[in-house]
Amino acid sequence: MGLIIASIEKHQLRQEELDLQYKIQMITKTRRTLTQSVEDLTAVGANYDADSPMAKALEQRKAKLKVLEQQLEARFEEYQDQLKMISAQRESAEKMFEQEVGKAFKY
């Protein structure tokens, strides 16, 4: 019975690990897009007078994008920490599984 439980736990932890890796990948992609958007807004804003309404609107938009980028960074770090914990748990589950296999086939 211990072998089955260890196998299920190992599988569940691997799935959680893959889910976190996917989320981290999506955040990285989104952050790249946000950075490009901020750069584009900066380039467009250079064509306007700093006191013009359009330049002010662009600066507000850049500020909102920066806040979003900071939120994504925080979530990224949170997922990285979770991934480290899950990886450690998975290694432990792997060892437990190997011990259970050894017990099950020991004569």
Inter-residue contact 9 to 107 (CB < 8 Å): no
103 CB neighbour count, 10 Å cutoff: 10
In whole angstroms, give the CA distance from residue 54 to residue 37: 16
**Residue 90, Cα to own-chain centre: how many angstroms?**
18
pTM of the model: 0.79
Q: So where are the chain's domains?
A: 2-35+64-102
The set of long-range contacts for 94-98, using a CB threshold of 8 Å and a minimum separation of 24, is: 94/10, 96/6, 96/9, 97/3, 97/6, 97/7, 97/9, 97/10
Quote the pLDDT of residue 107. 63
Distance, in Å, from the CA atom of 100 to the CA atom of 77, rounded to the nearest integer, reads: 35
pLDDT of 21: 97
Per the CB < 8 A criterion, the answer to whether 58 and 41 are in contact is yes
Distance, C-alpha 63 to centroid of its chain: 23
The pLDDT value given to residue 62: 87
Q: Average pLDDT of each block of 10 consecutive residues along the chain (107 residues)?
A: 84 95 97 90 81 86 91 96 95 89 79
SS3 70: helix
